[in-house]
């Protein structure tokens, strides 16, 4: 019996027809293991995971393997994107035991959910020093029946070790200028000056670190920080990791040069990078940064937007290869010279091959190449290359498309809301602001849910407009609050500030420890063998530092000492880790830059139809001051406090200057002289007039 048919996770539904008797993660599965006196086989993956699909085809779809699994184990399948808490707890055990991790993750547990054996992908036959999956299954079953005492001892030791891994960073002071400078120095040592980015292969887009570098430059003027950010962004935008036809970024590059990606496209990567490129344009006016930010925003809207107005999680790496009829990674994206000629004709195909680095030998598999923009490519008329791009994009659309994971993850939609709202404001694209607002509406309508008469909480996922069963984790609260705050700044609708405050009050109440540190799950969430608590970034900001950033912004908007104090206490972890491992706490360093800068509080007041107010508002949004918060609204008819005072506390008592729209720049609610001049406002915010325009 396969119990996955009724779930909402697209990843679990991919396994609904397996001959394996899968259970979702639920108490009944562990009760069944106790009843049968067998171990639990926990398999964790996600919809866009290439090797998850490979192991499924090789093992989980094999009748003999499935029969052995069903006889000797209770088999539990988990979507790591729906249950990041389950994934985090057991991934920590895998990494501690093996020194590495990844997906698919395969963990064997006692019926009390205690882990005792770990792995990731296992092949169907012994290969490269790895045992076959069948050998692993037989070995575990033999140990369970014949050496139960050893298994119990190992499980108990691992569980105790995990339980004892408590962080002790919450009481540290917030980082100061010295820690930020030390973090920059450490990043400089790890920087790949020849190729951009940090470290070797595989090379991941360092989204959060790039944001820190941009903010650090804005606060200190450090040109090296800006240069690392700009050069890395250009290298990625020219590489195969960026989709040169349709926009958007793949998950990572398998090489150091950004040439060949792992082709899955994740919402969180694209939301984060869209915002980074928009902020790079804001700082430098780079045409490339503007183009990539807009193309990435358009990619998210075109290919990830759901009918309900949210954004789907991912596009798969694999799609059907028309030559073989079988799934293959990158089949949708790669091109041979012959394929170019078939679409473009000989002359334009030769030009496209030179522009996009397509060779007879190929840069990928089977003589195909991943499109990129080499630095030494020919100089081509922009209109002609745009036409070639469009023709190739239309031809590619006829290929079998990668699958899409349609579940809406709250945290990642919060990131998308922030990116689309800001891009819409910067680049005069009101349609992008509308898409951001629609996604925010979906989060409120569907993901806010009440349980047992309690105040509404945030649900982790939804699909097809139906809320999922899993509770939101800290990153959901932090990232959604961040999205709402960005949307409030762009639209002037104070209701988004109120929604953010509601979420952040829950963070204070249900996720915060006495020492100011933060947990990834609420205090009344399902109890696992360990309550996860990780301040370091993975592919997206950690819940810890995402919440700290939103708390700090909300405090700047409202003057709430409770929220600011919580942000400062949470940032103690950045003081401890930032100078030592800055690549893994980049978002925390970005928030620290905002704290060091104030952050600035900007109130813009004037009639909504006044072009002068719009210009001041745009100037404020384009300011590079780290973490600056912006409120815009209409003055009261009698010249008293602003009409929106109840929504935007920053507008309280703000009045026009000599009848003209005005802006007030403050730090900690101590303000400079109000101004009606956009150039003076830009100077007060530390930016040149017209920056980014």
Residue found by looking up tokens 């942000």 in the block: 567
Q: What is residue 376's predicted lDDT score, i.e. its pLDDT?
A: 85
Is the per-residue pLDDT at 122 higher than 70?
yes
Band of pLDDT at residue 414, cut at 50, 70 and 90: very high
Least confident of 219-228, 289-298, 647-656: 647-656
State pLDDT tens for residues 451-486: 666 667 999 999 999 999 899 999 999 999 999 999
Q: Are both 454 and 558 inside the same structural domain?
A: yes
Which among 529, 523, 513 is positioned nearest to 164, based on CA atoms?
Answer: 529
Q: Are both 454 and 384 inside the same structural domain?
A: no
Is the per-residue pLDDT at 500 higher than 70?
yes
Among 366, 398, 430, the domain-final residue is 398
Does residue 442 belong to any structural domain of this protein?
yes
Does residue 322 belong to any structural domain of this protein?
no
The Cα 607–Cα 614 span in angstroms is 9
Does residue 693 belong to any structural domain of this protein?
no
Band of pLDDT at residue 643, cut at 50, 70 and 90: very low
Does residue 2 belong to any structural domain of this protein?
no
Highest mean pLDDT among 217-231, 370-384, 522-536: 217-231
State pLDDT tens for residues 580-609: 999 999 999 999 999 999 999 999 999 999
The Cα 319–Cα 396 span in angstroms is 12
Among 132, 163, 194, the domain-final residue is 163
Residue found by looking up tokens 């009101």 in the block: 430
Distances from the Cα of 207 to the Cα of 172, 268, 328, angstroms: 26, 10, 28
Q: Are both 361 and 390 inside the same structural domain?
A: yes
Query: What CATH code is carried by the domain that includes residue 523?
Result: 1.50.10.10
Does residue 690 belong to any structural domain of this protein?
no
Band of pLDDT at residue 288, cut at 50, 70 and 90: very high
Query: What CATH code is carried by the domain that includes residue 151?
Result: 3.40.30.10
Residue found by looking up tokens 């040439």 in the block: 259
Q: Are both 606 and 584 inside the same structural domain?
A: no
Q: Are both 492 and 391 inside the same structural domain?
A: no
Q: Are both 381 and 368 inside the same structural domain?
A: yes
Is the per-residue pLDDT at 373 higher than 60?
yes
- Contact call for residues 255 and 203 (beta carbons, < 8 A): yes
Q: What is residue 670's predicted lDDT score, i.e. its pLDDT?
A: 84
Does residue 187 belong to any structural domain of this protein?
yes
With a pLDDT cut of 70, the percent of the chain lying above it is 95
Is the per-residue pLDDT at 79 higher than 50?
yes
- The domain tally of the chain equals 4
With a pLDDT cut of 90, the percent of the chain lying above it is 80
Q: Are both 415 and 556 inside the same structural domain?
A: yes
E strand or H helix at 494? none
Among 163, 198, 232, the domain-final residue is 163
Does residue 106 belong to any structural domain of this protein?
yes
Residue 67: domain span:
10-163
Which pTM value belongs to this model? 0.93
Classified as helix, coil or strand, 600 is strand
Does residue 692 belong to any structural domain of this protein?
no
Q: Are both 555 and 474 inside the same structural domain?
A: yes
Q: What is residue 119's predicted lDDT score, i.e. its pLDDT?
A: 86
Q: Are both 518 and 657 inside the same structural domain?
A: no
Q: Are both 362 and 267 inside the same structural domain?
A: no
Q: Are both 183 and 305 inside the same structural domain?
A: yes
State pLDDT tens for residues 123-180: 998 887 789 999 999 999 999 999 989 999 988 888 888 776 666 665 678 999 999 9
- What stretches of 80-119 adopt beta strand conformation (E)? 105-109, 115-119
Chain-wide mean pLDDT for the chain?
A: 92
Q: Are both 57 and 121 inside the same structural domain?
A: yes
The Cα 191–Cα 232 span in angstroms is 9
Regarding beta strands 40-45 and 105-109, do their DSSP bridges make them parallel or antiparallel, or are they unpaired? antiparallel
């Amino acid at each position: 019996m396969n119990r996955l048919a009724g779930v909402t996770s697209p990843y679990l539904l991919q396994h609904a027809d397996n001959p394996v008797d899968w259970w979702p993660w639920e108490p009944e599965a562990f009760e069944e293991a106790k009843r049968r006196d067998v171990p639990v086989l926990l398999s964790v993956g996600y919809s866009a995971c290439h090797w998850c699909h490979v192991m499924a085809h090789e093992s989980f779809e094999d009748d003999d393997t499935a029969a052995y699994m069903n006889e000797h184990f209770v088999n539990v399948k988990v979507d790591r994107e729906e249950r990041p808490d389950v994934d985090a707890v057991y991934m920590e055990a895998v990494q501690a035991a093996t020194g590495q991790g990844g997906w698919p993750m395969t963990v064997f547990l006692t019926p009390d959910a205690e882990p005792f054996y770990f792995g990731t992908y296992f092949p169907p036959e012994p290969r490269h020093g790895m045992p076959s999956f069948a050998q692993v299954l037989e070995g575990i079953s033999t140990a369970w029946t014949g050496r139960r005492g050893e298994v119990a001892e190992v499980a108990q030791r691992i569980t105790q070790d995990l339980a004892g891994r408590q962080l002790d960073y919450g009481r540290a002071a917030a980082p100061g200028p010295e820690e930020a400078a030390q973090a920059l120095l450490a990043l400089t040592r790890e920087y790949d000056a020849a190729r951009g980015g940090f470290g070797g292969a595989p090379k991941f887009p360092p989204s959060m670190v790039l944001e820190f570098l941009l903010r650090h430059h804005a606060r200190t003027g450090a040109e090296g920080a800006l240069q690392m950010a700009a050069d890395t962004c250009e290298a990625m935008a020219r590489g195969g990791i960026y989709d040169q036809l349709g926009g958007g970024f793949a998950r990572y590059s398998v090489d150091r040069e950004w040439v060949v990606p792992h082709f899955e496209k994740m919402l969180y990567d694209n939301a984060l990078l869209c915002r980074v490129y928009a902020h790079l344009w804001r700082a430098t006016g780079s045409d490339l940064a503007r183009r990539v930010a807009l193309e990435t925003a358009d990619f998210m809207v075109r290919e990830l937007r759901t009918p309900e107005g949210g954004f789907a999680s991912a596009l798969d790496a694999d799609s059907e290869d028309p030559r073989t009829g079988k799934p293959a990674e990158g089949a949708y994206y790669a091109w041979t010279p012959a394929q170019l000629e078939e679409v473009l004709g000989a002359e334009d195909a030769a030009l496209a091959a030179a522009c996009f680095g397509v060779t007879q030998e190929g840069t990928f598999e089977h003589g195909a190449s991943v499109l990129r923009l080499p630095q030494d490519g020919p100089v081509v008329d922009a209109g002609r290359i745009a036409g070639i791009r469009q023709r190739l994009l239309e031809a590619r659309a006829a290929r079998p498309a990668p699958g899409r994971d349609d579940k809406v993850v709250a945290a990642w939609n919060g990131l998308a809301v922030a990116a689309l709202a800001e891009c819409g404001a910067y680049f005069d694209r009101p349609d992008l602001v509308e898409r951001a607002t629609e996604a925010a509406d979906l989060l409120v309508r569907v993901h806010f849910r009440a349980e047992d008469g309690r105040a509404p909480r945030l649900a982790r996922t939804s699909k097809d407009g139906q809320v999922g069963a899993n509770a939101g984790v800290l990153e959901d609260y932090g990232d959604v609050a961040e999205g709402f705050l960005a949307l409030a700044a762009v639209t002037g609708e104070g209701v988004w500030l109120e929604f953010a405050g509601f979420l952040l009050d829950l963070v204070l109440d249900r996720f915060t420890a006495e020492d100011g540190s933060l947990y990834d799950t609420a205090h009344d969430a399902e109890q696992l063998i360990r309550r996860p608590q990780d301040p370091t970034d993975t592919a997206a900001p950690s819940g810890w530092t995402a919440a700290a950033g939103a708390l700090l912004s909300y405090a700047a908007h409202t003057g709430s000492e409770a929220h600011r104090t919580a942000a400062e206490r949470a940032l103690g972890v950045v003081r401890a880790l930032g100078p030592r491992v800055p690549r893994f706490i980049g978002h925390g360093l970005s928030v620290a830059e905002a704290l060091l800068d104030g952050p600035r509080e900007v109130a813009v007041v004037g009639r909504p139809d006044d072009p002068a107010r719009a210009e001041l508002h745009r100037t404020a949004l384009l300011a590079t001051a780290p973490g600056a918060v912006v409120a815009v609204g209409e003055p009261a008819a009698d010249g008293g406090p602003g009409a929106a005072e109840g929504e935007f506390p920053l507008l309280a008592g703000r009045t026009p200057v000599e009848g003209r729209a005005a802006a007030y720049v403050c730090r900690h609610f101590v303000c400079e002289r109000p101004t009606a001049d956009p150039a003076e406002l830009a100077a007060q915010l530390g930016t040149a007039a017209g920056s980014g325009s």
